Amino acid sequence: MLKKSKRLMLVVSLFMVFALIFTAAAQAEVKNVILLIGDGLGMGQIDMTRYLAGDKDHELELMKLPETGIMMTSSTEGVTDSAAAGTAMATGHKVYNGAIAMNKNGAELDSVLDFAQVRNKATGVISTNMVTDATPASFIASVEDRGMGGKIAKQAIANNVDVMLGGGREDFMEDEAGEDLIAKAKANGYQYVSDKTQLEKVVPLNGKLLGLFNESYMNYINDRDDLGSNEPSMEAMTKKAIEVLSEDEDGFFLMAEGARIDHAAHAADVPGVVAETLDFDASVKVAMDFAKKNGDTLVIVTADHETLGFSATEPIEKEALMNIGVSPEYMAGQMTEKENGKGYTVESVKSVFEEYADISLTDAEVARFNELILDEEGNIKYSYLVGYEIGSIIANEYQAGVVNTEIRANSSTGGHTLNSVPVFAYGEGAENFNGMMQNTEFSDLLFDSMRP
């Protein structure tokens, strides 16, 4: 007969074994996965936002998630673009910049969204960019180049992605084969909406929803009032997507991207990064409120890469920056071209900087600006690229910590960095996302979260 102490030790050991088995089983029972990706959202953007929107000790909602990790972001080429970064996170494979869930040999790579479908879960993607752009595309399609928006849209419809919300209407219009993909989506049972008013009125029917709120990118938050926009916030899109997808009894997978954080960061647009990050952060709260109420839900918040080396520098002029109410791209649209098309008139450049940014430029500074916004043929660049130079002047004037215009101009990605990005997690299995990881290892954890 075993002595009492040995029997006790045996009972305790058996209890621990059963506890581990039970815990592992519980962690495997993740019904819903909500992945929120802030495009270009490094710790610098997070710290800049929390400081400018609050104070030195202010915390964003995403910072309240209990588990934290750090993710490296490289592609096979080094510093990644959003396509290769999205592919690594969605499929577990590093690829060349520009590739959408496809390797250099042309082989299609299955994504975690595909895996969710195999497990009979509803699926969805959201983006404040186009739903066919790099990051969402990596989850819903496989093509050799991120610029193939029409083909990505066609695959998304064919692949029965249940909910798609964002910009990119032009990619769903009549394609080269003469097919209207919006009409096809409606025929396949999708509810279709095109503005925030229509989105608010959507009630779950058969779980399929297509919302395209702009021909191209959705407008910056800071520009919407001036443009008379009727586009929904990311917060509203996330709320509606969860409402529709959660009708599926087998659960769902949702990827929601705050895409224009990256665009604002490229332009050194500090108030723009703050506004877009706050909208993203409100979406995190929506996801967390759902997860806490319903359980069986894993929420992960991260970025695909960091953009322009943002840092909350000590001399930054907080009040001056936060008084700027429109994007640099919007400012570019208010300038007047010279008669010869070789830049903007001195008067209009000075007027725009004075009106929107409270900055007085010298003639020499205007001349330098007009040099930077011309392409190799001497023509004015696209307005978003003009916005890059406007934003850099403003950031420099108000002492914001960002990569300067010369370094950005020499970057093949327009200012992406190799900076690692944070990972925040909550729910069943969230602790697995602690520690340092590659973006491909991050993908493995996503797949594992839905394995029995």
Active site residues: 82
Q: Is residue 255 a contact partner of residue 298, using CB atoms and an 8 Å limit?
A: no
Identify residue 59 by its one-letter amino acid code: E
Identify residue 332 by its one-letter amino acid code: A
Binding residue positions: 39, 133, 135, 257, 262, 266, 304-305, 416
CA dist 182 → 6, 49, 197, 385 (Å): 70, 37, 19, 31
3 token code pair = 């002595």
Binding residue positions for Zn(2+): 39, 262, 266, 304-305, 416
Nearest-angstrom CA–CA distance, 19 and 437? 28
Identify residue 149 by its one-letter amino acid code: G
Helix or strand run (H / E) with residue 407: helix 405-409
Q: Which residues of 118-154 are buried (b: 16+ CB within 10 A; e: fewer)?
A: eeebbbbbbbbbbbbbbbbbbbbbbbbebebbbbbbb
Nearest-angstrom CA–CA distance, 12 and 121? 39
Binding residue positions for Mg(2+): 39, 133, 135, 257
SS3 content of the chain, % helix, strand, coil (to 5): 45, 15, 35
Count of beta carbons in the 10 Å neighbourhood of residue 384:
16
CA-derived radius of gyration, the chain: 23
Residues 6+ apart with CB under 8 A from 364: none
Nearest-angstrom CA–CA distance, 45 and 47? 6
Nearest-angstrom CA–CA distance, 49 and 53? 6
Identify residue 437 by its one-letter amino acid code: M
Count of beta carbons in the 10 Å neighbourhood of residue 11:
10
